[in-house]
Amino acid sequence: MSINVLKAGLQTTIQDSGREGFREYGIASNGALDEYSQRMANWLVGKSAGETTLEITQIGPTLEFEADMTIGVTGANFEILVNDQPQTTNKTLQLKAGDVVKFGKLYSGARAYLAFSGQLTTDTIMGSQSTNLLAGFGGNRGLALKDGDRLNVVSEIFNQTRQIPEALQQEHHHNLQQHHLIVRFTQGREFDLLSDESRNVFLQTNYQVSSSSSRMAVTLEGENLALGDDLSMTTVPIVAGTVQLPSHGQPIITLADGQTTGGYPRIGQVISADLSLLAQLKPNDSVSFYPATIAQAHKALMQKEQYLKTLLTE
C-alpha cells in the first residue's frame, strides 16, 4: 500500500534519527531536527524514538492513506483535518483506507512530525532512511516530497490510543508560542577571543532568525560581533549546535544537515538538551543565548530524558 502525496507542503522530508560514522567523509548526520517531538510522535503509534517519520515544515502536506493506518502528529502546532474533520492533535489517530489527512493552519512552531504505524520500504543508505537534501540521497530518493509522490509502506495497525500528557503538551506549546526562544550554550573554543564588548552583546542580543535558515543552519541577524584580534583559523570539525562567527559578524548555528567542518571561530555550542528547540524557529522569530557549563548541559539532558521516560510510558 502507499501513502499518496496529494500536496507536498513547503518541505516535507523523510527523517529518522540520522546516520552516524560518515562525518569523516563530509556527510552530516541528517535526521529529525526536533528529536523530542519525533520521539513523541513515534510513541503515539507504538514505535521507538528515532524511527522513520515525516518532518513537516511550516506549510504541511495533504496525504491520502490507501490502507488502514495509525498515525501520530506532534511538534509544531498545526490544524489537522481528516476528511475535512478537525482532529485533536498530540493523540493517536486511527485512519481508514482512503482517509485524507490535511495539515491546515500553523498555529505555532515550525516543524511537525508525522509518525505512522507501518514500515516505509525506502532504501536505507549509510544506516539511515533520513533524507540528505544536500547530496540528494536517502528517504524519498534524496528529495523533499513532491505533489503526486507515492510512499510505499508495509501496512500495520497500532491498536492503542495514546495521548501526549497535558503537562508535556503545555510546556511544549508555551515554548512555541513565544516566538522567542532562549537556548543554553557552552563556550566554544574561540569564545575567549570575542572582544569584551562582543561577549556582552552576544549574551544580551535577541537575534532575529533570518529567512535563509534551513536544515543546514539557523542564520541570525543582530548586532555585529567582533573578535578582539584577527585570527587565522584552519578548517576544523564542527557538529550540530556549533555557533560560528563568520567575518560579517552575525552568528550561525549548525544543524543536523550542516557542514561537517568549518573555518569560522566557534564562539559557542548549543547544549544537546536545547538542540530540538532550534527546529521550531521560523524566520522573524528570535533567539537569545544563555550560558551553561558542561555539567549543567549534561544535567539538563538527563532531566529531560527522565521527564520523558516518566511521562511516555507504555
Partner 1 sequence: MSQPELFINSDNSIIIEFDDAISLKLTRYILGVKLSIEKAKLEGFVEAVPAYDSLLILFDAETFHPERHWQQLHSIVKTAQPIDNRDSQRYVIPVCYDLEVAPDLPFVADHAGLTTDDVIQLHSEQDYPVYMLGFLPGFLYLGELKSQLHCPRRSAPRAKIEAGSVAIGGSQTGIYPIDSPGGWHIIGKTPMKMLDVSASNPAIAKPLDIITFKPIGLEEFKQYEH
Residues that bind partner 1 (CB under 8 A): 20-27, 125-126, 132, 134-138, 186, 189, 234-237, 239, 241-242, 259-261, 269, 271-272, 294, 297-298, 301-302, 305
Q: Are 18 and 128 in contact (CB under 8 A)?
A: yes
DSSP string covering 267-296:
EEEE-GGGHHHHTT--TT-EEEEEE--HHH
Specify the pairing of strand 180-187 against strand 286-291: parallel
Least CB distance to partner 1 at residue 244 (A): 13
Which residues partner with 261 through β-bridges? 237
Least CB distance to partner 1 at residue 106 (A): 29
Least CB distance to partner 1 at residue 277 (A): 15
Least CB distance to partner 1 at residue 122 (A): 13
Least CB distance to partner 1 at residue 160 (A): 27
Select 61 or 139, whichever has its Cβ closest to partner 1: 139
Least CB distance to partner 1 at residue 178 (A): 24
Q: Furthest-apart CA pair in the chain: how many Å?
A: 64
Select 271 or 278, whichever has its Cβ closest to partner 1: 271
Rounded distance, CA 261 to CA 24, Å? 9
Select 239 or 311, whichever has its Cβ closest to partner 1: 239
Give me the residue label for grid cell 485512519.
95
Least CB distance to partner 1 at residue 94 (A): 33
Select 1 or 236, whichever has its Cβ closest to partner 1: 236
Least CB distance to partner 1 at residue 29 (A): 9
Q: Are 145 and 12 in contact (CB under 8 A)?
A: yes
Select 173 or 189, whichever has its Cβ closest to partner 1: 189
Ranges of H-type helices in the chain: 35-44, 166-177, 196-204, 275-278, 294-311
Burial of 1 (0-12, 13-18, 19+ CB in 10 A): middle
Nearest to 20 by CA among 240, 201, 232: 240
Rounded distance, CA 215 to CA 295, Å? 28
Select 3 or 292, whichever has its Cβ closest to partner 1: 292
Three-state DSSP at 178 gives coil
20: left (phi over 0), alpha (psi -120 to 50) or beta: beta
Strands (E) in the chain, as ranges, are 2-7, 13-15, 53-57, 62-65, 69-82, 85-86, 93-95, 100-116, 119-120, 150-154, 180-187, 207-209, 217-221, 236-237, 242-244, 252-254, 261-262, 266-270, 286-291
Least CB distance to partner 1 at residue 123 (A): 9
